Amino acid sequence: MATFWIYDYACSLHEEWIFLLRSHWCKVKGLYIVTRYLPFILLTTSLYLTFTPNGNPGKCRVFYNIDTGLCIVSAIFSECFFILRTYALWNNNKILLAAMASTAFAFLVASFSIAFASTVPAAYATSAIPGITGCYQSSTNFTLFIPFLLLSAFELGLMILTLIRAIQNWRITSSRLYVVLLNHNISYYACGLLFSVTNIFTWLLLQYSYQSMLHIFQFMILAILATRMHLHLWQVNRHSHRSGALVHIPISDMSSVNSTA
């Protein structure tokens, strides 16, 4: 997973630095930076959990809590891009934004509570591979599938909101920026739902080594998709302004689209 992340970063390094140097500083740009680079810390803690020598249960529990917290925070930052996009698609509807934000916060609190509560009774053991003594849970807590269930429900709700808006405006809006925005949203939600459902069955049916690998991979992929899609949308919007093309998006404030899309 670390190799895959580094490879993706190397492939997009040139485009990313153009974006970081030439785009205007705003809150969404800060969100991009955090979402993009947080998985580096997540992968570091995950590798430490896997290869730490002579890990005792207390030490394993602390680093497992850190790793779990970073996973949840990374997922929330990735979802924030699409909360803002949905908000923009719905003409900056503040009631809808408040509903999405409050739902996300409730799911966040529930996920943290379930994840941290499950580590208290968890037992840890050394790896079965000779020479490797990392932290591994010897028992599985089946309640850990609930955060993935909450995440899939939240993404399904955002997908429905996006589809409703697309159906309402498909005849009156045909700009490339708007089409890219919709395609990105639907693709991200479909990918997120697929990974969440996979992780739900993994936590219910498989052992901890498979569970750990797949749930970290999901959060890493979501971060890559969110930042890559934001970068691509910025490039499309920049090209539209350069070519003088008119962008007709049914949003009351065009500046909010440029900053949040």
Q: What is the pLDDT of residues 13-23, one digit of tens each?
A: 888 889 988 88
Nearest to 96 by CA among 81, 107, 83, 109: 83
Q: CA dihedral defined by 168, 169, 172, 178, rounded to 10 degrees?
A: 180
Nearest to 233 by CA among 190, 187, 195: 187
Which residue do the tokens 């969440």 mark?
196
What integer pLDDT is reported at residue 256 of this predicted model? 41
pLDDT above 90 coverage of the chain, percent: 22
Q: What is the pLDDT of residues 155-204, one digit of tens each?
A: 999 999 999 988 887 777 667 777 888 888 888 999 888 988 888 888 78
Q: Is the dihedral of CA 147, 150, 154, 160 positive or negative?
A: positive
How many whole angstroms separate alpha carbon 65 and alpha carbon 207?
19
pTM: 0.79
Which residue do the tokens 């590798």 mark?
47
3-class DSSP state of 244: coil
What integer pLDDT is reported at residue 115 of this predicted model? 79
Nearest to 119 by CA among 154, 69, 77, 188: 69
3-class DSSP state of 140: coil
What integer pLDDT is reported at residue 249 of this predicted model? 42
Q: What is the pLDDT of residues 94-144, one digit of tens each?
A: 999 999 999 999 999 998 888 777 765 555 555 555 555 566 665 566 677
Tell me how far apart the 2 most distant CA atoms of the chain are, in Å: 64
